[in-house]
Amino acid sequence: MRKISNYYLKNKSALAALVVLCLYIAAGIFAESILFFNSDKTAPFYEKSDMAKAYRPPSAEHWMGTDYKGRDVFWRAFFAIRTALKIGILASLISSAIGLFLGAVSGYFGSFIDDLVTWLYSSFAAIPTLLFVLAFSLLATKGFMSPPFSTIFSGLASLMRVEPGMLALYLGIGLTGWVGLCRVVRGEVMKLRETAYVQAARSLGYRDIRIIFRHIVPNIMHIVIIYFTVRFAYAIATEVIVSYIGIGVQTEPSWGVMISDGQQRLWRGVWWEIGAATAFMSLLVLSIHMTGDALRDILDPR
């Protein structure tokens, strides 16, 4: 902790990025709480429209103006933080968990297990990630799944209290984003399995699973943490792209949807909807990248 505090005291820009990221997380928790405790299930206040107030520019009443339905742009962009954080965190957790597990068992056991994992991540590496996410989202949101899979998918989305488009993004990004981490973890575990403390654990009769997850994995967690921040930012950007073209998030507030709606009215001089969504997204992605760089410097100074 002292090392971390000293680093942030010396690097004001990294400290500012961490503060901004914490503010975004607090905003996401606040937005999720508002919707969770919306007991009467009425439309949230940021969805309430007033056509008489459509296209109003930024003012004291509406800090970032209103959209084509008269909805407040600031609050829509604010509540889109919830969507971005949920997709970023869950998709990154899925990809990090898969990459860590497969990389660890592949590097430790070697033999046919290593051959199988190598074939698997080579196959996934050959798949264009964005196209896979787009195809998966299209299947989930446009009714192209077979009835049994569609029922299971809809039930899982209801259980998680998300729309099918968001669940498709969780899984699509998570199932394709583990390849890079798997390769790095595999290489690190290959080196660590020959170290003295691992050999000592083997001689004491510890089981392989215990050695992997009790003695080896803690020594490579800095790699996982750094990778998580990178995937976090990538998942947010991917969600914006997929929602922008209309096959990602459908009913939840999303910066991609706001940019898609706003671009149709740029010719009328209505710039504030795109401006708000872009500003919110850019600041979050920048703060994540800067925090990831800081964590890399702290956890892996070499």
User: What is the chain's mean pLDDT, rounded?
Assistant: 84
What digits encode the pLDDT tens for the residues 67-89? 888 888 899 999 999 889 988 89
pTM of the model: 0.85
**Which phi and psi angles does 262 have, rounded to 5°?**
-70, -30
For residue 106, the Cα-to-chain-centroid distance in whole angstroms is 26
DSSP 132-189: HHHHHHHHHHTT-S-HHHHHHHHHHHHHTT--HHHHHHHHHHHHHS-HHHHHHHHHHH
What value, to the nearest 5°, has the Cα angle with vertex 302 and ends 282 and 297? 30
Q: Which of 16, 220, 216 is nearest to 109 (CA)?
A: 216
Q: What CA–CA distance (Å, rounded) separates 36 from 171? A: 23
Residue 42 CB burial class (10 angstroms; 0-12, 13-18, ≥19): exposed
Looking at residue 39, its pLDDT comes to 53
Stretch (H or E) spanning 34: helix 12-36
Report, at the CATH architecture level, how domain 2-32+72-299 is classified: Orthogonal Bundle (1.10)
When comparing pLDDT for 210 and 252, which is higher? 210
Spans of all domains in the chain: 2-32+72-299
> Would you place residue 184 in the very low, low, confident or very high pLDDT band (cuts 50, 70, 90)?
very high
